[in-house]
Amino acid sequence: MPFNIPIALTWLRIAMIPLLVALYYLPDAWTASGWRDTAAAVAFVVAAVTDWFDGYLARRWNQTSAFGAFLDPVADKLMVVAALLILLNLGRVDLLIALVIIGRELTISALREWMAKIGASRSVAVHRLGKFKTTAQMIAIPCLLYWQPIEGIPVRLLGQILIVVAAILTVWSMCYYLQKAWPEIRSRSQ
């Protein structure tokens, strides 16, 4: 297993998941002050920035690896799923939205693994729809974690709108990937 700064950043993102979850087991005094939600939103933003930064560094320093290509999306999905489960528990995200986003992540991950196994991974390569979905999620989730207005800006409302946008893009991008993979799926199932 190679070890370099991009992979270290990915491991850092994975290590932040228990921190994010632990924040919601703090005493109620932390909740009342808003500190917990602020810390959770900041932790999620730091994780999102490391996601971008590790990919940038890996490409820039030519430190890409098969292990890094595997671990990076796993770290992203684990962080998003953990945050969605927290938000679901807090009543800040709808069950249907959480199920759609988590279900899509599992489905497309399995599809990509299968397509790679049969040598057709290029047909389900990351598309801009998936990038738009990820961007909407990465802005919506910290807004929903933070939940408080900032200078009169209704962060909660922004998060709620963007998570719905993310869910719509989630379904759209899943349909896109499945449509691209359909010829392989069809030929292999006969």
Q: How far, in Å, CA of 189 to CA of 29, rounded?
A: 57
Amino acid sitting at position 116? A
Q: How far, in Å, CA of 87 to CA of 26, rounded?
A: 16
Local confidence band at 121 (pLDDT 50, 70, 90 cut-offs)? low
Domain limits of the chain?
5-189
Amino acid sitting at position 99? L
pTM: 0.88
5-189 sits in which CATH class? mainly alpha
Q: Is the pLDDT of residue 125 over 80?
A: no
Using CA atoms, how far residue 79 sits from 12, 31, 76, 126, 156, in Å, is 11, 21, 5, 19, 20
Quick count: other Cβ atoms within 10 Å of Cβ 27? Answer: 8
Q: What percent of the chain has pLDDT over 70?
A: 95
Question: What is the tens place of the pLDDT at every residue in 129-171?
Answer: 888 998 999 999 999 999 988 899 999 999 999 999 999 999 9
